[in-house]
Structure 1
Amino acid sequence: MNAGIRRWLVLLAGALLLGILMLSPFAWQRWVDTRYAPAIYTVDEAPAARVAIVLGARVYNSGRLSAMLRDRVDTAVELYKAGKVDKLLVSGDNSSSDYDEPGAMMAHAIERGVAPEDIQPDYGGRRTYDSCYRAKAIFQVDEAIVVTQAFHLPRALFLCESLGLRVSGVSADQRTYDPRSIAWSETREVPALVAALFDVIRRAPPPVLGDPIPIQ
């Protein structure tokens, strides 16, 4: 085999490998989306579970919830009022003293009529992985409805199920969101799903843990 043909074959093999590496994350996303699509419901269709895990998102400096987070909490309140869940586990970031997603989520749910004793804040839910891990390890949840937007649900369900929970999901899409925000969120899901797979395999980085707080 002459040098020119060998060089061409090496380049071809490299291009094929690069193509596989580029397409693999999208194939993984497609598999996860397909795998968990049957487990995603509306509020009316959702099977009952004792706990709804409400995943955090941005809270503004004023304490006002972002549109997506407000819709997540409102959807969880609908589940609660419909008798689909007994408790809300509001899980979000509280990594600094001046930023408190769970506190803002809890306040909003109480304003919407949820009894304070039926809400459990999780102040260590910095990431979706952490929220799922802590739901099982700290709050001793075995079965739950996960509440977040449709683009986020397949990854959230994959993580929670991989960490030992029996879960279904309810989409919190209650409005048409800013197209730029949705485009960014959907694009971000591809690398986030790859990272989620590695997190599950390595069980790392470890979430913030503590003493068990069983949801009664």
Structure 2
Amino acid sequence: MSRPRWLRRPWQRVLFGGLLAGVLAYAAIAAVVWQRAEAVLGNPPQRPADAALILGNRAYLDGRPNPCLTGRVDTGIALVKAGLVKQLAFSGGVDTEDGRIEAEVMQQHANAVGYTGPALLEPVSSSTRLNLALSTPILQAAGVHSVIVVSEPYHLWRIERLVRMSGFDKTFDVQYAAAPTSCWRTWGMLFKGALREPAAIVNNAGHGYLF
């Protein structure tokens, strides 16, 4: 059987093979992320903690607070109402897409929906790794010893590995809460943030942050 015309030259076969390998690797990473997301969604935190650390995301979408972000805050508030945490910590710096400070947008949303408890702000970080690193001294200064890290489900596989590699879990007793935001409920792994996650994992792994 003859090869298709577009696969007859060696460089074409090499290029096609590379693209196919990349697609398969991307799909495999996405499957692992999805599996972990479902596992955390099905196993919410059980132990009380001193604070919920809510990680940032794009602040605004179509002129309104991004539901992918505010849904994370809502999950943190639910932990407070359930008696699992005593305070909220918001971590996220300037959003390059809209110029807003993610931590401030999260605090504003929390106040708008009636949260009046204590809040800590880390308004500088620009990545998940920096969320953890820059939040550490703020949490320590507030006397926090145990933390529930809150983010959307797709994000948690990478967060867990960053926590271990950075030693964040040596400073705090860490649990995880998956925020089933409207973005996740509507699209799952098919919305923009989740689609970018395998690329973020490859980038972090390439810099030695995950393994």
- Structure 1 and Structure 2 fold alike (TM over 0.5): yes
Deviations 1:70-121 (A, max 9, x none): 11111100101111111211011226895221112112212333335x1101
Label 1:144 to 1:37 Cα distance change in 2 as closer, same or farther (>3 A): farther
- The aligned runs of 1:1-216 (5 Å cut-off) are 23-24=24-25, 26-27=27-28, 45-60=45-60, 64-94=64-94, 98-116=99-117, 118-140=118-140, 143-166=146-169, 167-175=174-182, 179=187, 182-201=190-209
Amino acid at match of 1:77: I
- Asked if the contact 2:162–2:209 (Cα under 8 Å) also holds between the matched residues in 1, the reply is no
Return the offset for 1:21. Answer: 6.3
- Asked if the contact 2:36–2:156 (Cα under 8 Å) also holds between the matched residues in 1, the reply is no
| Sequence identity (%) | 26
- Asked if the contact 2:40–2:176 (Cα under 8 Å) also holds between the matched residues in 1, the reply is yes
The corresponding residue for 2:5 is none
- Asked if the contact 1:136–1:163 (Cα under 8 Å) also holds between the matched residues in 2, the reply is no
Return the offset for 1:130. Answer: 0.9
Distance 1:72 1:185 in 2: 14
TM-score, length of structure 1 as denominator length = 0.68
Question: Bigger CA drift: 77-86 or 142-151?
Answer: 142-151
- Asked if the contact 1:157–1:168 (Cα under 8 Å) also holds between the matched residues in 2, the reply is no
- Asked if the contact 1:142–1:165 (Cα under 8 Å) also holds between the matched residues in 2, the reply is no
Q: Which runs of 5+ in 1 are unaligned?
A: 1-10, 203-216
More helix by share: 2
SS at match of 1:139: helix
- Asked if the contact 1:72–1:172 (Cα under 8 Å) also holds between the matched residues in 2, the reply is yes
Aligned residues: 195
Return the offset for 1:61. Answer: 8.2
- Asked if the contact 2:50–2:145 (Cα under 8 Å) also holds between the matched residues in 1, the reply is no
TM-score, length of structure 2 as denominator length = 0.70
SS at match of 1:126: coil
Deviations 1:138-166 (A, max 9, x none): 53365321212111221222222322233
Deviations 1:161-193 (A, max 9, x none): 322233322121143655499333332111111
Deviations 1:42-61 (A, max 9, x none): 65x54322121111122238
SS at match of 2:126: coil
Q: Which runs of 5+ in 2 are unaligned?
A: 1-11
- Across the aligned residues of Structure 1 and Structure 2, the Cα RMSD in angstroms comes to 3.9
The corresponding residue for 1:7 is none
Distance 2:33 2:176 in 1: 14
Distance 1:58 1:95 in 2: 6
SS at match of 1:125: coil
Distance 1:27 1:21 in 2: 10
